[in-house]
Structure 1
Amino acid sequence: MQSDSPAPMRAIFAGLCASLVGIGLARFAYTPLIPPLIEAKWFAADDVLFLSAANLVGYLAGALAGRPLAQRLSARLTLQLMMALASLTFFACAIPVSVSWFFVWRFLSGLSGGIIMVLAATSILPHVPPQRRGMASGMIFLGVGLGIAGSGTVLPQLLSMGLTQTWIGLGAMALALTVMSWTWWPHPLPAAPGAAAAAPPPNGHAGALRLLYLQYALSAVGLVPMMIFIVDFIARGLGWGAHDAALFWVLYGLGAVIGPMLYGTMADRLGVHATSVLSLLGQGAAIAVLITSRQHFALALATFVLGTFPPGIVPVYLGKISQAVQGNAAAHSAAWSRSTTIFALMQALAGYGSSWLLSASNGNHRLLFTLAAGALLLCMLADLITPRRESATTK
């Protein structure tokens, strides 16, 4: 059978490389670079924080531009060019010309990440047997987790050589992954005879898609406070210092490496809705520990569990959308593009809102974590209600 040939695995590996370059490294490697950028006086502290928003703005633009660009150039060529662009941005950031120069290149790094998020999985999954698509989605977005983990392990080694060398080192890694995976992107499958390429999902599932968009937005709101402030909570909120905070960030990164494959495999075996409910229950329990405990082991375990969620939910929502559109590839691509745009927008709003609330509450991290838990609880309630509605409509 064609799908059992090595070609799908090469395509999955290309997707992993793309998510690692465009999201894992381009977004998450910047966070641990903020203090060195300030200490080296490349930019003022306010400018460095301003530049961190450039990637999020670019990511939102990429989520909007991905499908139109793929329709003009083909998804394969677009993905190849975006990996090359993301690689170039690292080399450009090795030269601290000005704040404007840095903003443009950080924006372009976010743009490439948004386009990769929209196109990578939907270009690869049609080449994978349906019963293995959860696992395949997990492998594709494993790159995001590897980037988070690498930001806490590899970057300190690069920083010991200097900031310029660090940016060049990141660029060299990204370029190597781009070259390695260049020819492994799949060509589009021919359209089925008589199939309408842009057919919308069945009318009965429009409501299901709207509910999925709402859930994905709530997921973005629910994961942002921990993703942004877990290190600050450990270092300043608990008073444990920067060393412990760095160790906890590594644990968060290890969870991010495990999450995509874990949730993807669970989705294949248990179904996407059951996996979603279980993952949200796990997140709720972890946040409860974060709010109430001061024991190192309990907080370390909670941090690891929280790390599984940001990249881990991606294969789950891909599977949910696939069910909602009943295998319609064009509708799946459109719905995933919309989901990514909504997620990017809510992630940016939640990031700025959390920063404001943390300042307004005099550094009350637990308030942020409680609000995050509330968003995830609403998300889980929607999951619990949805199957009943579906079964009711089919009787």
Structure 2
Amino acid sequence: MHHEATSVGVWRAILAGLCASLVGIGLARFAYTPLLPALIGAGWFDPSDAAYLGAANLAGYLAGALLGRRMAGWFPAARVLRAMMLLATAAFFACAGPWPFLWFFFWRFAAGFAGGALMVLAAPTVLPHVPPARRGLAGGAIFTGVGLGIAASGTLVPLLLRVGLTLTWCGLGALSLLLTVLAWSGWPEGGALPVRPAALSAPHPGPALKALYVVYGLDAVGLVPHMVFLVDFVARGLGRGLATGAHYWVLFGVGALLGPVLAGHLADRIGFRLAVRSALLLQAAAVALPALLPGAFWLVVSSLVVGASVPGVVPLVLGRVHELLPHADPARRAAAWSIATTAFALGQAAAAYGLSALFARSGDYALLFALGAAALVLALLLDLGATRHERTA
């Protein structure tokens, strides 16, 4: 009986983790992408301001990723997780009117902050309570929330927009609140998470691990054009309308649902080093497609592959960190993963601001996708060079 109760508690914790990634990443960050052309069309913001608001969310994500573990060192992790889900929920309701740009900027930043903190804290809070044999499945289930959120936003936003922008924001807020309530009592109770800054400084990472941080940051740069501009590109750039743009966002979400499972399977077959390299090559091709071949078939392929890459690259890089630190203690690996996550968030935020500024100046969608593909090719070349160094060292 006790084992059964424990098992139920574990699955409730996994469900809480899934809800956190769904609210913090799937909705708080990715629901903005299909909303972008609607905000412009309704005259709430001009195209460049609307793009900057997307970038504000990614800057918030970076801040949340940097401060999440620190907050969990001050307060019980369950309390921080609940607070961050409430903050993400409040941000939806706060954006439900045509308020000034700075108000929106603050709340889109707050939503990103909540998402970054939830990304850093949810899995580490839940996984220690999961039996080792089930941790792979549990981790996959938690990150599946990202894909569910993208698919939900792509399906719900066009339906809600029929009754207006204000009710769309409120509808997303209501869904976020429901998921927050569902997760509320599922978090494992415990003290604050141990924060060990010493683990960050010693021992020094080798060249291959340093290169992996840069590769992961460049990977983020490559994914930004789709994450921020895909729906707007289809809706306004190709003139196919918001409904069609949202269909591609749903495909992006379907890809995100499948990504972690497919990436894990690939790594099991060929190892993490080759899996990372294969993923970079595939991503570079998929990100370039909208610039080269904007036909419907190739856009479907591009949406699915890049969608799968957003959560799919996470377990690959995490596995590669473990591969490069085979004898390190868990705190050292956790510190390396924290640095990698921050590198990804930094790449994402920098690219979002840079590409938004470029788009405001040029209005050229193809250039954005071309630059994203170039960043991924550069990441692949860097990985190849670091791997060669690793072999000869």
TM-score (norm 1): 0.84
User: Cα offset for 1:117?
Assistant: 1.4
Q: What is the distance in 2 between the residues matched to 1:130 and 1:386?
A: 32
What residue in structure 2 maps to residue 328 of structure 1? 329
Question: Once the two structures are aligned, what percentage of the paired residues are identical?
Answer: 52
Describe how 1:176-255 pairs up with structure 2 within 5 A: 176-187=178-189, 199=199, 203=203, 205-235=205-235, 237-238=237-238, 240=240, 242-255=242-255
Q: What is the distance in 2 between the residues matched to 1:280 and 1:131?
A: 29
What residue in structure 1 maps to residue 35 of structure 2? 33
Kindly provide the amino acid, as one letter, of the partner of residue 139 in structure 2. S
Q: What is the distance in 2 between the residues matched to 1:272 and 1:129?
A: 23
What residue in structure 1 maps to residue 355 of structure 2? 354
Greater displacement, 152-161 / 196-205: 196-205
2:155 matches 1:153: yes
User: Cα offset for 1:257?
Assistant: 2.1
User: Cα offset for 1:276?
Assistant: 1.6
2:327 matches 1:340: no
Q: What is the distance in 2 between the residues matched to 1:294 and 1:102?
A: 32
Describe how 1:110-125 pairs up with structure 2 within 5 A: 110-125=112-127
1:104 paired residue among 95, 103, 106: 106
Kindly provide the amino acid, as one letter, of the partner of residue 350 in structure 1. A
Q: What is the distance in 1 between the residues matched to 2:134 and 2:185?
A: 23
Q: Is the 8 A contact 1:54 1:110 kept in 2?
A: yes
Q: What is the distance in 2 between the residues matched to 1:16 and 1:273?
A: 28
Structure 1's 287 and 36: CA in aligned 2 closer, same or farther, altered over 3 A?
closer
Q: Is the 8 A contact 1:266 1:275 kept in 2?
A: yes
Q: What is the distance in 1 between the residues matched to 2:193 and 2:230?
A: 46
What residue in structure 2 maps to residue 62 of structure 1? 64
Structure 1's 197 and 105: CA in aligned 2 closer, same or farther, altered over 3 A?
closer
Q: Is the 8 A contact 1:232 1:245 kept in 2?
A: yes
Q: Is the 8 A contact 2:97 2:166 kept in 1?
A: yes
Q: Secondary structure of the equivalent of 2:185? A: helix
Greater displacement, 56-65 / 7-16: 7-16
Kindly provide the amino acid, as one letter, of the partner of residue 353 in structure 2. Y
User: Cα offset for 1:282?
Assistant: 2.1
- How big is each residue's C-alpha offset from its partner over 1:20-66, in whole Å with a ceiling of 9 and x where there is no partner? 11121111112322343345455566654443333223222212211
Kindly provide the amino acid, as one letter, of the partner of residue 118 in structure 2. I
Q: Is the 8 A contact 1:122 1:333 kept in 2?
A: no
Kindly provide the amino acid, as one letter, of the partner of residue 350 in structure 2. L
Q: Is the 8 A contact 1:358 1:368 kept in 2?
A: yes
Structure 1's 125 and 273: CA in aligned 2 closer, same or farther, altered over 3 A?
farther
Structure 1's 296 and 70: CA in aligned 2 closer, same or farther, altered over 3 A?
same
Q: Secondary structure of the equivalent of 2:15? A: helix
Q: What is the distance in 2 between the residues matched to 1:153 and 1:204?
A: 46
Q: What is the distance in 1 between the residues matched to 2:163 and 2:199?
A: 54
User: Cα offset for 1:82?
Assistant: 0.8
List runs of 5+ in structure 2 lacking aligned partners.
none
Q: Is the 8 A contact 2:263 2:315 kept in 1?
A: yes
Q: Is the 8 A contact 2:75 2:191 kept in 1?
A: no
User: Cα offset for 1:376?
Assistant: 1.7
Q: What is the distance in 2 between the residues matched to 1:8 and 1:108?
A: 30
Q: What is the distance in 2 between the residues matched to 1:308 and 1:184?
A: 28
Q: Is the 8 A contact 1:135 1:268 kept in 2?
A: no
What residue in structure 2 maps to residue 164 of structure 1? 166
Q: Is the 8 A contact 1:22 1:116 kept in 2?
A: yes
User: Cα offset for 1:112?
Assistant: 0.8
Kindly provide the amino acid, as one letter, of the partner of residue 336 in structure 1. W
Q: Is the 8 A contact 1:235 1:241 kept in 2?
A: yes
Structure 1's 281 and 39: CA in aligned 2 closer, same or farther, altered over 3 A?
closer
Kindly provide the amino acid, as one letter, of the partner of residue 217 in structure 1. G
Q: Is the 8 A contact 1:12 1:136 kept in 2?
A: yes
Structure 1's 197 and 186: CA in aligned 2 closer, same or farther, altered over 3 A?
farther
Q: What is the distance in 2 between the residues matched to 1:289 and 1:36?
A: 25
Greater displacement, 356-365 / 135-144: 356-365
Q: What is the distance in 2 between the residues matched to 1:43 and 1:288?
A: 28
Q: What is the distance in 1 between the residues matched to 2:98 and 2:239?
A: 34
Q: Secondary structure of the equivalent of 2:106? A: helix
What residue in structure 2 maps to residue 299 of structure 1? 299
Q: What is the distance in 2 between the residues matched to 1:190 and 1:164?
A: 38
Kindly provide the amino acid, as one letter, of the partner of residue 247 in structure 1. H
Structure 1's 381 and 132: CA in aligned 2 closer, same or farther, altered over 3 A?
farther
Q: Is the 8 A contact 2:325 2:333 kept in 1?
A: yes
User: Cα offset for 1:155?
Assistant: 1.3
2:77 paired residue among 68, 71, 75: 75
Alignment coverage as a number of residue pairs: 389
Kindly provide the amino acid, as one letter, of the partner of residue 347 in structure 1. Q
Q: Is the 8 A contact 1:138 1:312 kept in 2?
A: no
Q: What is the distance in 1 between the residues matched to 2:68 and 2:275?
A: 28
2:273 matches 1:278: no
What residue in structure 2 maps to residue 139 of structure 1? 141
